[in-house]
Amino acid sequence: MKLILGSASPRRRELLAQLGLEPAAVRAPDIDETPAKGERPRDYVARMAREKAAILPCAADEVVICADTTVTCGRRILGKPENEKEAAEFLWLLSGRRHHVLTAVAVRSATGLRERLVDTVVKFRPLSNADVNGYLASGEWRGKAGGYAIQGLGGAFVPWIQGSFSAVVGLPLAETALLLQSAGIAMGESA
Ligand X SMILES: Cc1cn([C@H]2C[C@H](O)[C@@H](COP(=O)(O)OP(=O)(O)OP(=O)(O)O)O2)c(=O)[nH]c1=O
Q: Which residues are catalytic?
A: 68
11 binds ligand X (CB under 6 A): yes
What radius of gyration do the chain's Cα atoms show? 17
Cα 160 to Cα 172: distance, rounded to the nearest angstrom: 17
25 binds ligand X (CB under 6 A): no
Q: Where are the beta strands (DSSP E) in 56-132?
A: 62-73, 76-78, 98-109, 112-123
C-beta closer to ligand X: residue 74 or 188: 74
**Which residues, in sequence order, are CB contacts of 142 under 8 Å at separation 6+?**
80, 81, 87
> Which of these ranges, 7-15, 106-114, 133-141, 181-189, lies near ligand X under the rule CB under 6 A?
7-15
- Helix, strand, coil % (nearest 5) of the chain? 35, 25, 40
Q: What residues numbered 129-188 form the site for ligand X, per CB under 6 A?
A: 143-146, 148-151, 154, 168-170
Q: What are phi and psi of 69, to 5 degrees?
A: -120, 130
Name the residue number minimizing CB distance to ligand X. 7
**Which residues, in sequence order, are CB contacts of 109 under 8 Å at separation 6+?**
1, 58, 62, 63, 64, 183, 184
C-beta closer to ligand X: residue 122 or 183: 122
Q: How far is the CB of 2 from ligand X (least distance, A)?
A: 18
63 binds ligand X (CB under 6 A): no
Cα 116 to Cα 23: distance, rounded to the nearest angstrom: 20
Per rule CB under 6 A, count of chain residues that contact ligand X: 26
Q: How far is the CB of 72 from ligand X (least distance, A)?
A: 11
9 binds ligand X (CB under 6 A): yes
Cα 15 to Cα 63: distance, rounded to the nearest angstrom: 17
Cα 176 to Cα 172: distance, rounded to the nearest angstrom: 6
29 binds ligand X (CB under 6 A): yes
- Contact with ligand X (CB under 6 A) among 3, 4, 7, 72: 7
Q: How far is the CB of 86 from ligand X (least distance, A)?
A: 14
Query: By the criterion CB under 6 A, which residues form the site for ligand X?
Result: 7-9, 11-12, 28-29, 52, 67-69, 71, 80, 101, 143-146, 148-151, 154, 168-170
